[in-house]
Structure 1
Amino acid sequence: MAFVTTNEGNEIFYKDWGPKDAPVIFFHHGWPLSSDDWDAQMLYFLSKGFRVVAHDRRGHGRSTQVWDGNDMDHYADDVAAVVDHLKLRNAVHIGHSTGGGEVIHYIARHGQDRVSKAVIISAVPPLMVKSDSNPDGLPKEVFDDLQANLMANRAQFYRDIPAGPFYGYNRDGVVADEGVITNWWRQGMMGSAIAHYEGVVAFSQTDFTDDLKSITLPVLVLHGDDDQIVPYENTGVLSAKLLLNSELKIYEGFSHGMPTINAEVINADILKFIQS
């Protein structure tokens, strides 16, 4: 397995598949998952001639289970460590959910010189939690409940999320895929409880407004209108408005987990954006 050691001495696991001279796509996973959640995209884009890279965020997957630094600044710095180690240039950065926030913060914090385009999918920016400046956000109690359920019985909680709202399997007439549910649970349980607990604060309370405004490169914003985890009106739609050079696509009936269960559609739209 391949790891990058950060300046803090933490090991960040990464995958790097494909020819070294091929155009690069860097994938950023959601909470509380790992780089394995991008299987459908990494195999697809590898077959299209791309070099595909993905990492496990600190405290997630196979990366070091640190007890501190579970915030967007450290997440972005860990991405920079992988980018520097692999000497990546002109990469397209693609993030899902929390990973979409990580993409936006990485670009804003470390600059656009090494990035050509970005894609954020079902992503948390600009801000999820309700506040005076974000009156349409979700009440803080929603995220407090996530932490309470994680603390009470993480294993059961990580079964209930994918079996229910994450993939829309709680909707009438939708047939759940047991393999998808189990794979979500597997990825979640690989990670650290403390990193996931504190990660709830990172993805819900980080305000990405200024980050979004600072980015000038092309960004594709994808969201489903049946996203029960990150409601699209106050995230994807607003992010597209704040970005200077964005393209917004809302998918009717798609859930939060659309990169997995709607991979054929999502992959084709991303490829079209990259090649445009």
Structure 2
Amino acid sequence: MGYYVKVERDVQLYVEDLNRKSKKPILFIHGWPANHKMFEYQFNQLPRYGYRCIGIDCRGFGYSDKPWKGYTYNRLADDIRIVIDSLKLENVTLVGHSTGGAIAIRYMSRYYGDKVSKLVLLAAAAPSLIQRPYFPYGLKKEDVTDIIEKTYKDRPKMLSDFKDMFFYQKISEPFADWFFQLGIQAASWSTAAVAETWLKEEQLFFDLGTIAIPTLILHGIHDQVCHFPLAEAQKQGIKNSVLIPFENSGHGLFWEERNKVNQELFRFIG
């Protein structure tokens, strides 16, 4: 079932909500530049085992409204808060992939983890997607500025190039086209604006230390987008956390090792 939740006067977010009667809600925040459909291989399985799966299209992406502004982690976390309140959710397992993981971490810090009982970080873009003088991991700053420039110049080509670094395992041409279409549904300005946030955002280093709930970190060792040392930094920064490496995945572990991801979610959520 899909519907819209109003988060600002002129902004509504699309929400896919499966198995609404369940009292085991899992709220999924997608990565850049996709939308909630990237979790198709989780939504195929989890509801049949009694879980309520809620997928949000962040502002600017998928079926949600695409305003010109509002793409900071603070604003995106505020959107998540409004959805949680609107749906009257309690004891949520919050799952974030890539940039969605960064948004989830900001939510935990900004709202003191309210309404969330467990956190799952899938290839999360934290504590920093890019290299910094005090954090020599992640992408080079110029790699991200190149993505932003290509977004404005030839966004389909940029998305195609990004797809090539996203997966470690070989994907079929139909799957590649499906994944490409997830990105093309976004607005060009929101695609670029979130990438700009990667460059500016440094507070996640602090945010990690505020998280006190059980946290599961799942990360592909071959990840070329959010390099594996980011996961190790998350493990070090979040006291009550467990890191599980995925030996046969890049950034797209939600598909590349989908059965293992689902099994780890079953085990962690209970």
Matched ranges for 1:249-260 at <5 A: 249-260=244-255
Match of 2:208 among 195, 206, 212: 212
Equivalent-residue separation in structure 1 for 2:90 and 2:84 (angstroms): 8
Question: Residue 270 of structure 1 corresponds to which residue in structure 2?
Answer: 265
Equivalent-residue separation in structure 1 for 2:171 and 2:150 (angstroms): 22
**TM-score (norm: length of structure 1):** 0.93
* 2:77 aligned with 1:81: no
Partner amino acid for 2:258? A
Question: Residue 26 of structure 1 corresponds to which residue in structure 2?
Answer: 27
**TM-score (norm: length of structure 2):** 0.95
SS in 2 for 1:209: helix
C-alpha distance 175-243 of structure 1, shift in aligned 2 (>3 A): closer
* 2:179 aligned with 1:184: yes
Which stretch shifts more, 16-25 or 43-52?
A: 16-25
Which stretch shifts more, 30-39 or 136-145?
A: 136-145
The offset of 1:16, in angstroms, is: 1.1
* 2:109 aligned with 1:108: yes
Matched ranges for 1:35-114 at <5 A: 35-114=36-115
* 2:225 aligned with 1:236: no
SS in 1 for 2:8: coil
The offset of 1:175, in angstroms, is: 3.4
1:135-193 deviation per Cα after TM superposition (whole angstroms, max 9, x unaligned): 3343210101111221221112212322x11012xxxxx53322321111111111110
SS in 2 for 1:130: coil
Question: Residue 225 of structure 1 corresponds to which residue in structure 2?
Answer: 221
* 2:198 aligned with 1:193: no
SS in 1 for 2:40: helix
Q: Is the 8 A contact 1:159 1:182 kept in 2?
A: no
1:211-270 deviation per Cα after TM superposition (whole angstroms, max 9, x unaligned): 11001001001111100111111x110011000100001122311011012111111111
Q: Is the 8 A contact 2:138 2:227 kept in 1?
A: no
Q: How many residues align?
A: 268
After superposition, the CA RMSD in angstroms is: 1.4
Partner amino acid for 2:72? D
Q: Is the 8 A contact 2:35 2:182 kept in 1?
A: yes
Q: Is the 8 A contact 2:248 2:257 kept in 1?
A: no
Equivalent-residue separation in structure 2 for 1:72 and 1:38 (angstroms): 21
Question: Residue 167 of structure 1 corresponds to which residue in structure 2?
Answer: 167
Structure 1, gaps ≥5 residues long: 169-173
* 2:121 aligned with 1:120: yes
SS in 2 for 1:26: strand
Equivalent-residue separation in structure 2 for 1:94 and 1:31 (angstroms): 14
Partner amino acid for 1:64? D
Matched ranges for 1:3-22 at <5 A: 3-22=4-23
% identity of equivalent residues: 28
Partner amino acid for 1:273? F
Equivalent-residue separation in structure 2 for 1:187 and 1:82 (angstroms): 22
Equivalent-residue separation in structure 2 for 1:25 and 1:167 (angstroms): 25
The offset of 1:204, in angstroms, is: 4.5
